[in-house]
Structure 1
Amino acid sequence: MIHGIDTSFLVAVELSSHSQHVAARQLLLSLHQIGDRFGLAPQVLAEFVHIVTDSRRCAKPLTMGDALDRASQLWNAVETVRLLPSDAGVACFFTWMRRHRLGRKRLLDTQLAATFHAAGIGSVLSLNRPDFELFGCFSIQGS
Structure 2
Amino acid sequence: MNDIISNKTHRIALDTNFLVDLDITVSPRHEKVLSILNDLGKSKSEIFITEDALLEYIHVVTDAKRFPNPFSIKMALERIRYINNHPHFTILHSDQDDFEICMQWIQKYNLGRKRLTDTMMAATYFNNGITELWTANANDFEIFDCFDIKSTV
TM-score normalised to structure 2 length: 0.89
Q: Judge conservation of contact 1:109–1:131 (CA < 8 Å) in 2.
A: yes
Counterpart CA distance in 1 for 2:62 and 2:90 is 25
Residue of structure 2 in register with 1:2 after alignment: 11
The alpha carbon displacement at 1:82 in A equals: 2.0
Q: 1:94 aligns with which of 99, 103, 110?
A: 103
Between Structure 1 and Structure 2, the one with more helix by share is: 1
TM-score normalised to structure 1 length: 0.95
Q: 1:35-54 counterparts in 2 under 5 A?
A: 35-54=44-63
The alpha carbon displacement at 1:10 in A equals: 0.9
- Unmatched 5+ residue regions in structure 1? none
Report the identity percentage: 30
Deviations 1:29-52 (A, max 9, x none): 111111101101111111111111
Q: 1:1-143 counterparts in 2 under 5 A?
A: 1-141=10-150, 142-143=152-153
Q: Residue type of the partner of 1:70?
A: R
Q: Judge conservation of contact 1:9–1:126 (CA < 8 Å) in 2.
A: yes
4+ aligned runs moved over 4 Å, structure 1: none
Deviations 1:72-108 (A, max 9, x none): 1112211111211122211111111111111111111
- Unmatched 5+ residue regions in structure 2? 1-9
CA RMSD of aligned residues (A): 1.0
| Equivalent pairs, count | 143
